[in-house]
Amino acid sequence: MWKAILDTYHLEGDSFMDSLIDQFIHFLSVEKGLARNTLESYQRDMVAYTSYLNEQGVTRIEESARTHIIGYLLVLREKGRATATLSRNMASIRAFYQFLVRDKLIDKDPSIHLETPKIEKRLPKVLSVDEVERLLDSPPVNHPAGLRDKAMLELLYATGIRVSELVNLDKADVNLDMGFVKCMGKGSKERIIPLGSVAIQMVRHYLQAGRPKLVKGSGDSALFLNHLGKQITRQGFWKIIKRYALKANIRAEITPHTLRHSFATHLLENGADLRSVQEMLGHADISTTQIYTHVTRTRIKDIYAKTHPRA
């Protein structure tokens, strides 16, 4: 069927190209089971790449070549895009061409043998225990939004879950009596993570005194709600953590994943084994978790240099 469509349209025009991208995203969703955020990244990457092809006068995807891919990556580099962004775009382009070959939409894959830009391994930024405590103590607990913010920060640091996982939690995902939270991670993989006593206490306080005042109308099943009574967004949380970092006088760079990185580092510094941390973080490959062992070694060296009289 696709081959017939290909012969009819010659893969010309933006609308047909958009259709190909939609089919590609559908394939990734159904057969690969990729998470929504990942699918959105693939779609953005392919829309940008096919727009570049169109600017280069390439209206038929089978006319695209290795030189076009290299040219596109060079354009991204000239625009100052990070190596990680180039690497992600290369992965998206490669997956797209593999899909087209698989469905016999093109005969050759021009991305074969192209090297993926090597990403510099940067150590994640982490907060000290004192900085974490100041951050967690920043939200006021005398009104619903403050209770929500306090519960979110405590839950994030207690579990190390991703911000996207945090904002997507429903009330039913948290079992305060048993002391665990259930979340859906990348690739729609579910995991269960224990909760500490402080996080349990704060989430319970929020559910009793904060959330009921944020619910509007029929309500929303989401655990954390905004002032409209809807599920809080990732962008909304980003604004929240930046505001409290400023209030706590934290000068270290803050990102949405700062508490996740700090959670993992502090666990390893206090003797947790790597496999357990890997499970809690939801990493498919333990090599991803091992970056935190480098962080702990670096921190130990810094402490030694600052405190040993002969350092």
DSSP string, 87-114: HHHHHHHHHHHHHHHHTTS-S--TTTTP
Q: Which of 64-73, 107-116, 273-282 has the highest mean pLDDT?
A: 64-73
Whole-number pLDDT of residue 100: 92
Closest CA to 195 of 178, 211, 208, 171: 178
Whole-number pLDDT of residue 299: 61
Q: Which residue has the higher pLDDT, 279 or 244?
A: 244
Whole-number pLDDT of residue 11: 42
For the chain, the first-to-last Cα distance in angstroms comes to: 71
pLDDT band at 304 (very low <50, low <70, confident <90, very high): low
pTM here is 0.61
Give the whole-angstrom CA distance, residue 172 versus residue 242. Answer: 28
Tell me the torsion sign for CA atoms 28, 108, 111, 49.
negative
pLDDT band at 308 (very low <50, low <70, confident <90, very high): low
pLDDT band at 99 (very low <50, low <70, confident <90, very high): very high
Give the whole-angstrom CA distance, residue 77 versus residue 298. Answer: 30
> Per-residue pLDDT averaged across 182-209, rounded?
89
Residue found under tokens 């405190």: 307
> Per-residue pLDDT averaged across 280-297, rounded?
74
Q: Which residue has the higher pLDDT, 32 or 92?
A: 92
Whole-number pLDDT of residue 98: 93
Catalytic site residues?
Answer: 162, 186, 257, 260, 283, 292
Phi and psi angles of residue 43, each rounded to the nearest 5 degrees, phi first: -65, -45
> Per-residue pLDDT averaged across 108-132, rounded?
79
Geometric angle at alpha carbon 310, from 304 and 311, rounded to 5°: 40
Q: Which residue has the higher pLDDT, 226 or 15?
A: 226
Whole-number pLDDT of residue 14: 57
CB neighbours of 20 closer than 8 A, spacing ≥ 6? Answer: 11, 61, 100, 105
Give yes or no for residue 2 having a pLDDT over 70: no
Whole-number pLDDT of residue 10: 43
CB neighbours of 169 closer than 8 A, spacing ≥ 6? Answer: 181, 183, 222, 223, 224
Give the whole-angstrom CA distance, residue 80 versus residue 59. Answer: 27
H runs (alpha helix) in 142-290: 144-159, 163-167, 197-205, 211-214, 234-247, 258-269, 274-281, 286-289
Closest CA to 261 of 280, 234, 233, 275: 280
Give the whole-angstrom CA distance, residue 130 versus residue 3. Answer: 62
Give the whole-angstrom CA distance, residue 24 versus residue 45. Answer: 12
The percentage of residues in the chain with a pLDDT greater than 70, rounded to a whole number, is 86
The token duo for 211 is 């959330």
Taken in order of first residue, the domains within the chain and their CATH numbers are 2-102 (1.10.150.130), 129-307 (1.10.443.10)
**137-162 pLDDT tens trace:** 999 999 999 999 999 999 999 998 98
**36-52 pLDDT tens trace:** 888 999 999 999 999 99
**HSE toward the beta carbon, residue 11, CA cutoff 13 A:** 20
Residue found under tokens 């911000």: 163
Give the count of beta carbons closer than 10 Å to the beta carbon of residue 90.
20
